[in-house]
Structure 1
Amino acid sequence: MDIAEVAKVSGLPASTLRYYEEKGLIKSYGRNGLRRLFSANVVERLALISLGRNAGFSLEEIYEMFTPDGPVINRELLLAKADELENKIAELTAMRDGLNHAAVCKAPNHFECPKFLRFLRIAGKNKVRQPSKLKKGDL
């Protein structure tokens, strides 16, 4: 399959395929003119990469799973990622519930609503990226 066919089948742009090849995640076996050629199993490998990316794995973590004999999955890493996803789901669920409540809350002012204030306290405990501090002479 040439790179255009792989891009069409996988839904990934050719630039991503070239980047994945540069990082060693996929490998072309030759060229047809200027187009890279890939074996048909590259689509399966790209699906595994997409699954890993969607689950929160870095490209480096995914790269480590690939061996010459095929993918080797680190089960402990899978369990750790599953725990991370579970925590993220809980955070997002709480956020959704808080926003839904705020949208229909009958309090005249949201700061008079005990449930909204609890929501704010929870949100305040989550680490938010703080802007870097300006140093003298930065302006």
Structure 2
Amino acid sequence: MDISDVARRSGLPASTLRFYEEKGLIASLGRPGERRRFAPHILDQLALIALGQSAGFTLEEIRAMFAPNGKPNIDRSMLAAKADELDATIRRLRAMSKGLRHAAACPAPSHAECPTFQRLLGAAVPGPRKRGQTTRVGRVEK
């Protein structure tokens, strides 16, 4: 397939395909004339690249998922580590969502008086907070 066929079938612009080739994620079979040509398995490679990006892998990590012949060669421990990372992110986001939903419907007169909202603020601040430290909304931790 030439680059325009791959672009049409993958939904990616030719510039992205050239970028992926430059980064070593994919390889063309050569350029007879001025058009890059790719093997049919390129679409599988592009699907794996898209999946890897959706999962949060860097392009360098994704490049390492391919053997020199372009076939997948994925380190299973790397997949497990990324799955653990995603699970932790999901837990954090679920807690954040729950806190925001509570804050949106909280019966407290103000968010500064809502303990749940204060815990949400505390979770958003990096590092440990000490008793007596003022929050962003002016409340003192006890």
Where on the TM-score scale, by shorter chain, does this alignment land: which range? Answer: 0.7 to 0.9
| Unaligned residue ranges in structure 2 (runs of 5+) | 129-142
Runs of 4+ with >4 A deviation: none
TM-fit CA distance, 1:32: 5.2
| Unaligned residue ranges in structure 1 (runs of 5+) | 128-139
Percent identity of paired positions between Structure 1 and Structure 2: 58
Equivalenced residue count is 127
Q: Contact 1:7/1:14 (CA < 8 Å) preserved in 2?
A: yes
Aligned counterparts, 1:106-117, within 5 A: 106-117=107-118
Distance verdict in 2 for CA 1:95–1:18, change over 3 Å: same
TM-fit CA distance, 1:86: 0.5
Matching residue of 1:71: 72
1:99 equivalent to 2:100? Answer: yes
Q: Which stretch shows the higher mean deviation, 21-30 or 64-73?
A: 64-73
More strand by share: 1
Matching residue of 1:60: 60
Instruction: Please state whether the residue corresponding to 1:118 is helix, strand or coil.
Output: helix
Root mean square deviation, CA, Å:
1.8
Matching residue of 1:90: 91
Instruction: Please state whether the residue corresponding to 2:12 is helix, strand or coil.
Output: coil
Aligned counterparts, 1:1-139, within 5 A: 1-31=1-31, 33-69=33-69, 70-125=71-126
Normalising by structure 2, report the TM-score.
0.81
Q: Partner amino acid for 2:102?
A: H
Distance across 1 between alignment mates of 2:2 and 2:123: 51
